[in-house]
Amino acid sequence: MPVDLPSRVTVRPATLVDVPAVVRLFAPQAASFRTSGKDDGSADVDWELAQRAMRLMLAHYALEDGHVRTAEREDGTLLAAAIWLPPEAGAEAADERFGGLLERELDVSLSEPSGLATVLKAACPDEPHWKVVTVCAPEDIELWDHALAAELLAPGLRAADEERAPAVAITLSVDLMAPLWPLGFGRPYEVQSAPGASVWLTARGPAAP
């Protein structure tokens, strides 16, 4: 079925210039995240460090090997983004490649995998698959519908189907899941990523050739 975007919304591939704006889209949701570090699990996430890590990931991994698409309002501000990460390939796994980048550029030690990386690895399929992280500005959540989701996810879904690979969608809110169901994704399930914080996952098998 054809989908039509509101005339005031434009979807296009992201560029390096868009990276800081994509990172800022995560700020309202991530500000409430907690991570273990104290006995009561109440340590705040170092959001400044997290933003730097996300900018590196987008610039040196997602934009090079995957697909990053953005949806803009009529005034040019960012409304939503979809960040596609391809299946792990080659001798170096994706988490090892990204971990080395962070250790080198941010001067941090990542000898232990992050809690989020651990739960995602356990929750995702063992077979090679594409991952997509979707985020939408919370003040415009009513614009996150099937038309916008379909337009943002189209390049990644085509790539996954061409490779006959499943896809896993990850969001920070269950409210972003419903528009994905017409695209072949199943019902979502919640995965706790840290004390008091969760992500939502849903999977999709490759479309029939």
pLDDT in tens, 187-199: 888 887 666 667 8
Closest by CA to 151, choosing from 187, 117, 119, 183, is 183
How would residue 105 be classed by pLDDT, with cut points 50, 70 and 90?
low
Banded pLDDT at 2 (limits 50, 70, 90)? very low
> Tokens standing for 71?
């949806």
How much is the pTM?
0.79
User: Residue 172 above 90 pLDDT?
Assistant: no
Residues 6+ apart with CB under 8 A from 39: none
**DSSP 3-state assignment of 170?**
strand
Burial of 39 (0-12, 13-18, 19+ CB in 10 A): exposed
d(CA 185, CA 188): 8
CA pair distance 20, 33, nearest whole angstrom: 20
What is the number of other CB atoms lying within 10 angstroms of the CB of residue 105? 13
User: Among 32-36, 54-58, 93-97, 143-147, which is the least confidently predicted range?
Assistant: 32-36
Longest CA span, the chain: 52
Among 38-52, 58-72, 146-160, top mean pLDDT goes to: 146-160
- Where helices occur in the chain by DSSP H, the ranges are 19-25, 27-30, 47-57, 63-65, 94-106, 115-123, 146-162
Closest CA to 66 of 129, 136, 147: 129
Most trustworthy range by pLDDT among 48-62, 77-91, 143-157: 143-157
